[in-house]
Structure 1
Amino acid sequence: MLEASQTTPVLPERRIAELTGLVRTSLTETRRTVSPLTGGEVATIPVSSVDDVDTAFAAARRAQRDWARTAVASRQRMLLRLHDLVLDHQEELLDLIQLESGKSRAHAFDEVAHLALTARYYGRRLAKIVGPHRRSGVYPGLTRVQQVQQPKGVVGVISPWNYPLTMAISDGLAAVAAGNAVVHKPDSQSPLTALAGVELLRRAGFPPELWQVVSGQGSVVGQAIIERADYICFTGSTATGKRVAAQCAERLIGCSLELGGKNPMIVLPGADVEKAAAGAVSACFSSAGQLCVSIERIYVHRRQYDAFRDALVRRVQAMSFGTALDWDADMGTLVSPAQLATVEKHVEDARAHGATVLTGGRARPDIGPWFYEPTVLENVPPTAECFAEETFGPLVSLYSYDSVDEAVAFANAGVYGLNASVWGPSRTARRVASRLKAGTVNVNEGFAATFGSIDAPMGGMRESGMGRRQGAEGLLRFTESQAIGAQSLLPVSGPAFVGAGRFARVLTFGLRVLKAMGRA
């Protein structure tokens, strides 16, 4: 375990070498990573070339051919072993997540729990999801049809820095469970966490060559993956996701994309204001707001607006901050100077357009080099950048409304549709939730009710992405559906000794009988 201190925690050189040794590279070129906790150096990471990507795909394709023949029951046992290994090694994983992302330890644990839940879910449900499944034949009793799921082949995973463990491993885990191999480029900010996850995969029994890791710039290594993979799984910005989608379309391969969001929360008339304010703190400031599904705009009924505003500000001002590897801080830091610059720009622009800063609104280099206080704004006009643009930081804006229809219209405005939150009496809140254009909607929760429920699909509508992770959909996206039909006794077109006209009349009668019997 790394020790918490005012200087950058040091990972032993031997351990760094073990992890970086998992990167496929033939170059001597390296790059340094830094920790947002202090701005100090963490590790020297090898860089991969396009030739290394070729080598990774060749090795992955060889491994995938054997892996696809591995019994589903064997894969399930490995997934369940991984569940235990993730929990057993959580202390190092938590250290690495904090070291590379800067988030608080409690928010880092969300990743450990999510990965363990994912491994257990597919470990228990894999056989049921991938089948084979019996389907109705054209002639009952004479036509036997099975649907089977064939793996795509080699899946390219390009994962982000903000959730360096679970976004690196969980998507690819579903891919290998379905019989694929993976070539993975973790984000340059957070490679060690991803590599520690890959190491646990191998300890769980997954073949070493099945999951290949390459390292480098997205424009070089990421591009090479897109040009070679049979399917792409990408998490990142909407602008980059559109380019990925266009390139996949050119090659006629599939992709799943989780992209940006400007996620709304609605506080309905009759909501418990104190509970809604407490939920908003978590929904807005988990991982310092650097979470695709975090809330950035809150709509409160005018009668409750003042009470909610005061409760939220009071709770935000009571939050604790820190960059130590312990459980004391409610919120950690932003990940980089670029993220800090975006938050500062959005806050200052909002101020310049007449918005009011209710709390926060300043950087705190005394806590960490890129730390910014959790900030609550009101009176943000449509002309301000943060009104419709994603901030991806600890910033939320408050708005009032007069009718529920108005609140729904406000929440559905804009181009995004990733996550939403509704607080109020459960039955009413669920009805409102069904009217929102978002891939996930959480009632009396911010995002965790859907994010933590692995049996439920998760993904975006509109410019927040395409495809779903989690649940059956999260695994089936990595497969091709294949129908295998076997005909017995007589051909579908009828016996040769019956003329076509007569057979058509017999078949017409049969179709009417089947409809009357309620058969599909």
Structure 2
Amino acid sequence: MIQFSDQPGLIESIQELRKYQLRPEQPSLESRLKCLENLCEVLAQPQEGWIKAVAQETDVPETCVRNAEFAGFAAGLSRELSLFRTGRDLVPTGLISILSPRVFPLRTTLERLVPAYLAGDPCIVKFSSRTSSAKQIFMDVLAEAKLDVEGMAVTSAPSEQLLPVLTAHPSIRGVSFVGSLKTAGEIQDLLQHFCRFQAWTGGITSWLCLSADDLERVAQELRLLAVKWGYNHPYFPKKIFVLESFAEKARSVLQELWPLLPGSQVSVSGLVAKMTSEGAKVRYEGSPALVEDLPHCSEFHQLEIAEPVVQLVAVKYIHEMVKWINTGSYGLLAQIWGPAEKAVKLAPKIECGLVTINEALQADQSLLFGMKESALGINDLTPEGCFFSQKRTVIMEIQGGSDFVSK
């Protein structure tokens, strides 16, 4: 695996990867699948040092790192590999830039590296400059799984000088990015017209509680989520919608729950002060914080909030919950808690990439989904889709005309 730390090193790496791509002999699809089976085994039983290092570097609980970054991804990948048939003629897209975020760097990188690897695309992986340990663990994991890494380059150098080359170099055929909407916009401005692009920019996870009878379940699931995943996880809700008819009970249940939640080291005082200056009421001080009655005109309804601050939003009718979610810029995840017959009718109206009904997400489910500004470009993570591979049609002359040999 090639390592580099500056722009000249990146350009040299691109040249080497182009040579690799032009080699007449490449590993077979069967051998790649075998290597990915090895990868599943390595990730299913990660070294404790890996877990501690990633947890410390990303400010995510160790239990969450173990489940989301390692074991959960291994379970999901193992299931996907069992469905993937060998013998497919995949035509690589070409050199792919993979730009990873600070939070969940291994999971988000591997979710895009695997389809690129199966399709035969060489890759340049750019880790955040704040996750150098994750970069080293990534290399160790691939080495232990015995993946063919000749077609890969990796760095955790700062983005300032590298981003224009990673996105606009004529040899780059695709850019896959996870991070802020601001950076995604900068990448789009730099892209060449022939370069494929996909981006996941996060968003706001909303929970919709449809009845007072489900409040205790909501509180229980919220506590489990906080303990297991922490507040940085995209599954953790930043908005909880309830009806005005049981808003007082919801407030009471959540105020009883909040002291039982694990504390966070992230300061929220500045954000809470801004919300209260707009009229919001603080129902629980500290980190995490619970606020209510944020005015409808507040910009905080549109913004992705990274800090552990949860908004309780009471509306008169159920359809208003959908309205407030759909008017936002993001469309990540909505979880509905309530009578199934009502939830099933409600779910198709919500503009989110994933909607769940009375079920918490599991560790083996992908972190990458979304609609609107949560997911930009070609939202595809399959090796035989429209991002990591291309379709080839072969036409052969036969007696009396021509026929398609393969696609």
Give yes or no for contact 1:264–1:295 (8 Å, CA) kept in 2. yes
Q: Which SS does the other structure have where 1:266 is aligned?
A: strand
What is the aligned partner in structure 1 of residue 392 from structure 2? 482
What is the aligned partner in structure 2 of residue 360 from structure 1? 285
Q: After superposition, give the CA deviation of every residue in 1:312-346 in whole Å (9 maximum; x if it has no partner).
A: 2322211234xxxxxxxxxx544xxxxx4xx4332
Cα 1:86/1:474, change in 2 over 3 Å:
farther
Q: Which SS does the other structure have where 1:434 is aligned?
A: helix
Q: Which SS does the other structure have where 2:399 is aligned?
A: coil
* Cα drift, residue 161 of structure 1: 0.5
**Residue 182 (structure 2) pairs with residue 272 (structure 1):** no
What is the aligned partner in structure 2 of residue 366 from structure 1? none
Q: Which amino acid aligns with 1:101?
A: T
TM-score by length of 1: 0.71
Cα 1:484/1:305, change in 2 over 3 Å:
farther
What is the aligned partner in structure 2 of residue 214 from structure 1? 155
Counterpart pick for 1:115 among 69, 73, 76 = 73
CA distance in structure 2 between the partners assigned to 1:103 and 1:453 by the alignment: 18
Q: Which amino acid aligns with 1:354?
A: G
Cα 1:473/1:314, change in 2 over 3 Å:
farther
Q: Which SS does the other structure have where 2:84 is aligned?
A: helix
What is the aligned partner in structure 2 of residue 168 from structure 1? 109
What is the aligned partner in structure 2 of residue 70 from structure 1? 27
What is the aligned partner in structure 2 of residue 237 from structure 1? 180
CA distance in structure 2 between the partners assigned to 1:474 and 1:94 by the alignment: 32
* Cα drift, residue 232 of structure 1: 0.5
* Cα drift, residue 183 of structure 1: 0.5
Q: Which amino acid aligns with 2:185?
A: K
Counterpart pick for 1:407 among 317, 321, 334 = 321
Q: Which SS does the other structure have where 2:256 is aligned?
A: helix
Cα 1:226/1:285, change in 2 over 3 Å:
farther
CA distance in structure 2 between the partners assigned to 1:102 and 1:414 by the alignment: 28
Give yes or no for contact 1:23–1:212 (8 Å, CA) kept in 2. yes
What is the aligned partner in structure 2 of residue 142 from structure 1? none
What is the aligned partner in structure 2 of residue 31 from structure 1? none
* Cα drift, residue 154 of structure 1: 1.4
Q: Which SS does the other structure have where 2:331 is aligned?
A: coil
Q: Which amino acid aligns with 1:272?
A: D
What is the aligned partner in structure 2 of residue 50 from structure 1? 7
**Residue 85 (structure 2) pairs with residue 151 (structure 1):** no
* Cα drift, residue 469 of structure 1: 5.4
CA distance in structure 2 between the partners assigned to 1:469 and 1:394 by the alignment: 30
Give yes or no for contact 2:126–2:154 (8 Å, CA) kept in 1. yes
* Cα drift, residue 240 of structure 1: 1.3
* Cα drift, residue 196 of structure 1: 0.7
**Residue 240 (structure 2) pairs with residue 315 (structure 1):** no
What is the aligned partner in structure 1 of residue 344 from structure 2? 430
State, as a whole percentage, how many aligned pairs show the same letter: 20
Q: Which amino acid aligns with 1:309?
A: R
Give yes or no for contact 2:99–2:178 (8 Å, CA) kept in 1. yes
CA distance in structure 2 between the partners assigned to 1:68 and 1:272 by the alignment: 59
Q: Which amino acid aligns with 1:115?
A: F
* Cα drift, residue 393 of structure 1: 1.9
CA distance in structure 2 between the partners assigned to 1:118 and 1:218 by the alignment: 30
Q: After superposition, give the CA deviation of every residue in 1:279-324 in whole Å (9 maximum; x if it has no partner).
A: 2345678755323443211110222322222222322211234xxx
What is the aligned partner in structure 1 of residue 294 from structure 2? 380
Q: Which SS does the other structure have where 2:85 is aligned?
A: helix
**Residue 263 (structure 2) pairs with residue 349 (structure 1):** no
Bigger Rg, which one: 1
* Cα drift, residue 270 of structure 1: 6.1
* Cα drift, residue 227 of structure 1: 2.0
Counterpart pick for 1:463 among 329, 349, 373 = 373
Q: Which SS does the other structure have where 1:482 is aligned?
A: coil
Cα 1:23/1:382, change in 2 over 3 Å:
farther
Give yes or no for contact 1:76–1:124 (8 Å, CA) kept in 2. no
Give yes or no for contact 1:302–1:402 (8 Å, CA) kept in 2. yes
What is the aligned partner in structure 1 of residue 56 from structure 2? 99
Structure 1, unpaired ranges of 5+: 1-21, 26-47, 133-147, 322-331, 335-339, 362-372, 494-520
CA distance in structure 2 between the partners assigned to 1:459 and 1:79 by the alignment: 23
Cα 1:100/1:404, change in 2 over 3 Å:
same
Q: After superposition, give the CA deviation of every residue in 1:382-420 in whole Å (9 maximum; x if it has no partner).
A: 344423211112111011122222221122122111111
CA distance in structure 2 between the partners assigned to 1:473 and 1:347 by the alignment: 44
Query: What is the count of residue pairs matched by the alignment?
Result: 399
CA distance in structure 2 between the partners assigned to 1:469 and 1:96 by the alignment: 30
CA distance in structure 2 between the partners assigned to 1:271 and 1:477 by the alignment: 45
What is the aligned partner in structure 1 of residue 311 from structure 2? 397
Q: Which SS does the other structure have where 2:330 is aligned?
A: coil
Structure 2, unpaired ranges of 5+: none
TM-score by length of 2: 0.89
CA RMSD of aligned residues (A): 2.6
CA distance in structure 2 between the partners assigned to 1:491 and 1:23 by the alignment: 49
Alignment of 1:494-505 (within 5 A): none
CA distance in structure 1 between the partners assigned to 2:92 and 2:164 by the alignment: 22
* Cα drift, residue 195 of structure 1: 2.3
Between stretches 151-160 and 383-392, larger displacement belongs to: 383-392
* Cα drift, residue 51 of structure 1: 0.9
CA distance in structure 2 between the partners assigned to 1:160 and 1:172 by the alignment: 14
What is the aligned partner in structure 2 of residue 498 from structure 1? none
Q: After superposition, give the CA deviation of every residue in 1:119-160 in whole Å (9 maximum; x if it has no partner).
A: 4244323336xx64xxxxxxxxxxxxxxx4311121101100
Give yes or no for contact 1:79–1:122 (8 Å, CA) kept in 2. no
* Cα drift, residue 191 of structure 1: 2.0
Alignment of 1:333-348 (within 5 A): 333-334=265-266, 340=267, 343-348=268-273
